[in-house]
Amino acid sequence: MNLFSYPGRALINLIINLIGKDADHSGNVNMASRFLKKNLSVNTHPEYRNLAIMTCFKKPRWALTTQKYLFQLALALVICSFAIPVTLAVPVEDFSTPEHDDNGNPPPINKGTDNALCQSGVSSGFACRNVELMSRIPLLNMGGGTGADSWGWKDEQTGRYYALMTRSSGTSFIDVTDPASPLLLGNLPSAGGVQPWRDVKVYANHAFIVADNIPTHGMQVFDLTRLRGVTSPQVFTADTVFRRFGPAHNIAINEDSGFAYIVGSNLCLGGLYILDIRTPKAPSFAGCFSADGYTHDVQCVTYSGPDSNHQGDEICFASNEDSLTIVDVSNKAAPVMLSKIPYPLIGYSHQGWLDQNQGMFFMGDELDELNFGMNTRTLMFDVSDLANPVYAGAHQHGTSVIDHNLYVNGIYMYQANYVGGLRILRIDHGVTTTMTEVGYFDTEPDENVVNFAGAWSVYPFFDNGTILVSDLNNGLFVLQASLADDAAESAPINGRISGLWTSGGLNDQGITLYVDENDAGPFIFFTWFLYLNGEPFWLAGNTSFEYGVDEVSIPTQRLSGLEFVTPASVLANRENIGALTIHVHGCNDLHIEYSFEALGSRELDFQRLAGVQGRGCLP
- On the CB side of 274, CA atoms within 13 Å amount to 23
User: What's the rounded Cα separation, in Å, for the pair 447 and 126?
Assistant: 11
Q: For the chain, what are the domain ranges?
A: 6-83, 136-248, 495-612
SS3 label, residue 259:
strand
If you ran DSSP here, which 8-state letter would residue 79 be given? H
Q: What is the largest CA-CA distance in the chain?
A: 86
User: What's the rounded Cα separation, in Å, for the pair 222 and 210?
Assistant: 12
Its sign, for the CA torsion 44, 50, 51, 55, is: positive
User: What's the rounded Cα separation, in Å, for the pair 315 and 384?
Assistant: 13
Which whole-number Å values give the CA distances from 612 to 439, 488, 519, 529, in the listed order? 22, 20, 35, 19
- Strand 349-354 and strand 336-341: the pairing is unpaired
DSSP per-residue string spanning 529-559: EEEETTEEEEEEEEEE--TT-SEEEEEEEEE
Report residue 76 CA to chain centroid gap.
29
Q: Are 234 and 186 in contact (CB under 8 A)?
A: yes
Q: At what angle do helices 66-80 and 46-56 cross, to 10 degrees?
A: 160
User: What's the rounded Cα separation, in Å, for the pair 61 and 30?
Assistant: 5
Q: What is the pLDDT of residue 567?
A: 59
Q: Are 604 and 506 in contact (CB under 8 A)?
A: yes
- pLDDT mean for each 10 residues of the chain (619 residues): 35 39 33 37 32 35 38 44 35 39 39 45 80 93 94 97 97 97 97 93 98 96 97 97 97 98 97 98 98 97 96 97 97 98 96 96 95 93 97 90 95 95 90 85 82 94 96 95 58 78 68 85 86 73 86 89 58 85 80 81 78 48
For residue 344, give the nearest of 382, 314, 372, 383 by alpha carbon: 372
Angle at 153 between CA 147 and CA 157, to 5 degrees: 150
For residue 224, give the nearest of 210, 212, 239, 234 by alpha carbon: 239
Name 17's Cβ contacts closer than 8 Å, sequence gap at least 6: none
Q: Are 140 and 97 in contact (CB under 8 A)?
A: yes
Strand partners, 391: 381
Name 266's Cβ contacts closer than 8 Å, sequence gap at least 6: 215, 245, 246, 247, 248
pTM score of the predicted model: 0.68
User: Residue 66: exposed, middle, or buried by beta-carbon count in 10 A (0-12, 13-18, 19+)?
Assistant: exposed
Angle at 610 between CA 608 and CA 613, to 5 degrees: 115
User: Residue 119: exposed, middle, or buried by beta-carbon count in 10 A (0-12, 13-18, 19+)?
Assistant: buried
Return the C-alpha torsion angle 465, 469, 474, 479, nearest 10: -10
